[in-house]
């Protein structure tokens, strides 16, 4: 909301935030709100389990609000499987297969900024262009998203190098900040507004100020642990080093081809289609595929343009930091750090990108 004020010396414009779109949920009302949400949705949330954060489905019998891992970084698993299924039927013959919405909508509570980069990438791949994927579109439409700030980024986090912040202001239904006395909730979408109920109170200016201070502190943590910016034209830098196999062999020297980096990546979108059938019926199934698989690029007739692993290793960087960036204006990487926290060879992608 803007208000213009006129003075003898000229015109001055002040910008005010509409605080009616930001609400406060006291600590003693959090469980009541969660219970109400669970009455309408299949709620999934990040929980601290044996010192690791994992996605867990809400179950009233064993749920404890204290188990919510909202101030910590992202879960070990990405949110990708909720929207892009690892395996699903996508076609049948002679009867057509039409995607049907789940009778109960899903709600992902506590998603992080790096999780949402995955959705942004998948929207480009599955919902834009000549054909839209009805299965992905149906799941996304059927899923509510409540984001949570990352006030305490860890050493594995580098979202700031990829143009992201450790907090969310778009692309979700609600955005949440954990304060000492409760949660500060910002409404982002119209359907997010419908999730606000009698449990909430109006926010006050000092809460907004504390949220801002907390976010600035998180940004400073990221800048301190990631002091060196990536190449200003990373796509061009990768293109120029494509045939420098000594560089790439050194970068991949610890890789054991376990595929952990690809399985846990929130942005990877490759898939494989295969058919099963008999004399009366055929079905087509889609499964995740990974660019490190030896037969990944094989074409009809058996030719394989990337028979060597190092060629497939380079292709991963081409895909995420060159081709996708050139076509869509942002990187197909979120800076979540899952790839090297999972990596058995301890290959830190930041070290590779930093040398380009």
Per-residue pLDDT for 16 more than 60? no
Report the alpha-carbon distance of residue 167 to residue 260 in Å, rounded: 26
Read off the pLDDT of residues 262-288 as tens digits, 9 standing for 90 and up. 999 999 999 999 999 888 899 999 999
Q: Which is higher by pLDDT, 129 or 92? A: 92
* Number of C-beta neighbours around residue 314 at 10 A: 23
**Which band of pLDDT confidence, cut at 50, 70 and 90, is reported for residue 338?**
very high
Parse the chain into domains and list their residue ranges: 20-225, 234-354
Report the alpha-carbon distance of residue 11 to residue 175 in Å, rounded: 34
Global pTM?
A: 0.91
Average pLDDT, the chain: 92
Report the alpha-carbon distance of residue 200 to residue 22 in Å, rounded: 10
Report the alpha-carbon distance of residue 183 to residue 335 in Å, rounded: 26
Of the segments 49-53, 296-300, 350-354, which one has the largest average pLDDT value? 350-354
* Number of C-beta neighbours around residue 132 at 10 A: 12
* Number of C-beta neighbours around residue 320 at 10 A: 24
Report the alpha-carbon distance of residue 342 to residue 156 in Å, rounded: 11
Per-residue pLDDT for 254 more than 90? yes
Provide the pLDDT for residue 97. Answer: 86
Report the alpha-carbon distance of residue 274 to residue 286 in Å, rounded: 7
Provide the pLDDT for residue 219. Answer: 98
Provide the pLDDT for residue 101. Answer: 76
Report angle CA 244, 249, 251 to the nearest 5 degrees.
100
Burial degree of 167 (CB within 10 A; 0-12, 13-18, 19+): buried
Provide the pLDDT for residue 14. Answer: 34
Structure tokens of 140?
A: 């996304």
Alpha helices in the chain (DSSP H): 30-38, 80-83, 113-126, 134-141, 190-193, 205-225, 234-240, 245-251, 260-263, 309-318, 324-328, 338-342, 349-354
Read off the pLDDT of residues 138-174 as tens digits, 9 standing for 90 and up. 999 999 999 999 999 999 999 999 999 999 999 999 9
Q: Which is higher by pLDDT, 190 or 8? A: 190
Best CA proximity match to 335, nearest among 112, 85, 109, 110: 112
* Number of C-beta neighbours around residue 344 at 10 A: 12
The least confident of 88-102, 120-134, 164-178, 237-251 is: 88-102
Report the alpha-carbon distance of residue 187 to residue 174 in Å, rounded: 5
**Stretch (H or E) spanning 55:** strand 52-57
Per-residue pLDDT for 37 more than 90? yes
The least confident of 165-169, 202-206, 220-224 is: 202-206
**Which band of pLDDT confidence, cut at 50, 70 and 90, is reported for residue 1?**
very low
Provide the pLDDT for residue 164. Answer: 98
Residues 6 or more apart in contact with residue 178 via CB below 8 angstroms: 70, 71, 148, 149, 151
Best CA proximity match to 270, nearest among 293, 253, 303, 301: 293
Read off the pLDDT of residues 85-111 as tens digits, 9 standing for 90 and up. 999 999 999 988 888 778 789 999 999
């Amino acid at each position: 909301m803007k208000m213009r004020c006129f003075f003898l010396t000229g015109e001055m414009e002040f910008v005010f935030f509409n605080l009616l779109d930001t609400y406060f949920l006291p600590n003693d009302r959090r469980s009541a709100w969660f219970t109400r949400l669970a009455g309408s949705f299949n709620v999934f949330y990040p929980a601290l389990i044996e010192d690791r954060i994992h996605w867990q489905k809400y179950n009233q019998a064993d749920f404890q609000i204290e188990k919510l891992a909202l101030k910590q970084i992202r879960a070990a698993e990405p949110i990708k499987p909720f929207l892009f299924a690892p395996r699903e039927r996508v076609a049948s013959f002679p009867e057509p297969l039409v995607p049907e919405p789940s009778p109960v909508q899903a709600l992902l509570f506590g998603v992080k900024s790096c999780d949402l980069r995955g959705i942004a990438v998948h929207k480009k791949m599955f919902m834009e262009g000549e054909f839209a994927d009805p299965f992905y579109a149906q799941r996304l439409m059927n899923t509510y998203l409540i984001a949570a700030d990352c006030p305490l980024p860890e050493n594995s986090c580098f979202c700031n190098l990829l143009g992201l912040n450790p907090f969310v202001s778009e692309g979700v239904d609600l955005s949440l900040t954990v304060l000492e006395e409760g949660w500060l909730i910002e409404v982002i979408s119209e359907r997010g507004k419908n999730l606000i109920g009698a449990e909430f109170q109006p926010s006050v200016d000092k809460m907004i100020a504390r949220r801002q201070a907390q976010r600035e502190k998180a940004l400073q943590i990221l800048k301190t642990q990631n002091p060196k910016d990536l190449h200003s034209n990373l796509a061009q830098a990768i293109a120029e080093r494509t045939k420098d196999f000594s560089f790439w062999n050194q970068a991949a020297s610890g890789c054991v081809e376990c595929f952990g980096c690809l399985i846990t990546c929130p942005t990877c979108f490759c898939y494989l289609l295969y058919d099963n059938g008999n004399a009366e019926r055929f079905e087509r199934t889609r499964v995740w595929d990974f660019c490190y698989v030896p037969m990944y690029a094989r074409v009809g007739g058996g030719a394989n343009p990337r028979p060597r692993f190092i060629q497939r290793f380079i292709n991963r960087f081409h895909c995420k930091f060159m081709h996708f960036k050139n076509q869509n204006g942002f990187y197909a990487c979120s800076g979540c750090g899952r790839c090297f926290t999972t990596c058995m060879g301890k290959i830190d992608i930041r070290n590779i990108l930093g040398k380009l």
